Chain A
């Protein structure tokens, strides 16, 4: 089962621009995580934000969480061509990670 929606489904930007991806979820959560997947590869954990946190930073990544709206956003600043990948949010549902639909990000040099 999928947890929720992500938008946009696809995003194409120029190098140096910022990329914002949004995620909505349905159930109560303990935390929300963002992952990155390069084409045909496994997933890489990017960042985790707990339900009692509203914002978190890690390098060029900024994640926000609004539990009242059941939504989260991932901002990648100063994007690079190497950021081209699919990005997924995931919620921990009683010990199981459930993923959103994902956003396919393309950063053009």
Chain B
């Protein structure tokens, strides 16, 4: 089956530093990758949609200069949280959709718990 690998699973960083999270589709080519953010006891909020080779599309209210997304290949997308602050502490989850399954073939990574101290 389709597998999406997300790393790191946990990261603690100091306020003001940047953190990069990777999302890889291991056995399929992902036309589109999605980045979500989830606060404790809450649902997943879509942050942005990235297509291979093009700029990411950000949801309303998400700062594109703070959350840099790069989708350089069909199997890798990265999210960089720049100049992180404690309020950026959250659970970040990526998802990839398969090229040959249309819009409803989504596979999720296992998430990254970011703590900014």
Residues of A within 8 A of B (CB): 1-2, 30-31, 33, 35, 40-45, 48, 88, 92, 94-102, 104
Interface contact tally, CB-CB below 8 A: 58
Q: Are B46 and A42 closer than 8 Å at their CB atoms? A: no
Looking at the assembled complex, report how far the CB atom of A94 sits from the nearest CB atom of chain B, in whole angstroms: 8
Report Cα–Cα, A33/B44, bound state, in Å.
Answer: 14
User: Do B44 and A88 have beta carbons less than 8 Å apart?
Assistant: yes
Which of A42, A48, A92, A99 lies in contact with B110, CB distance below 8 A?
A42
Partner of B49, one of A42, A45, A96: A96
Would you call the interface of chain B mostly helix, strand, loop, or mixed?
A: strand
Q: How far is the CA of A97 from the CA of B94 in the complex (A)?
A: 12
What's the Cα separation between A13 and B109 when bound, in Å? 29
> Which of B12-20, B63-71, B73-81, B100-108 has 4 or more CB atoms under 8 Å from chain A?
B100-108
CA distance A43 to B43 in the complex (A): 11
Q: Are B109 and A42 in contact (CB under 8 A)?
A: yes
Number of residues in B with C-beta < 8 Å to the partner?
Answer: 26
Bound form: Cα–Cα A43–B80 in Å: 21
Q: Is the CB of A45 within 8 A of B106?
A: yes
Q: How far is the CB of A62 from chain B (nearest CB, A)?
A: 20
- In the complex, per-residue mask of B15-42: 1 if CB is within 8 Å of any chain A CB, else 0: 0000000000000000010101000011
Q: B107's closest neighbor in chain A, by CB?
A: A45
Roughly how many angstroms separate A43 CA and B34 CA in the complex, as a whole number? Answer: 13
Contact of A2 among B43, B95, B104, B110 (CB under 8 A): B43
- Considering the chains assembled together, what is the distance between the CA atoms of A94 and B34 in angstroms? 13
How far is the CB of A41 from the nearest CB of chain B, in Å?
A: 6
The reply to whether A104 and B41 contact each other, CB–CB distance below 8 Å, is yes
CB-CB nearest 3 A-B residue pairs: A42-B110, A43-B108, A42-B108
Cβ A41 vs Cβ B46 within 8 A: no
A81 to B103, CA, bound (A): 33
Residues of A within 8 A of B49 (CB): 95-96
B113 part of interface (Cβ distance < 8 Å)? yes
Contact A95 B32 (CB under 8 A): yes
- CB-CB under 8 A from A42, the residues of chain B are 6, 93, 108-111
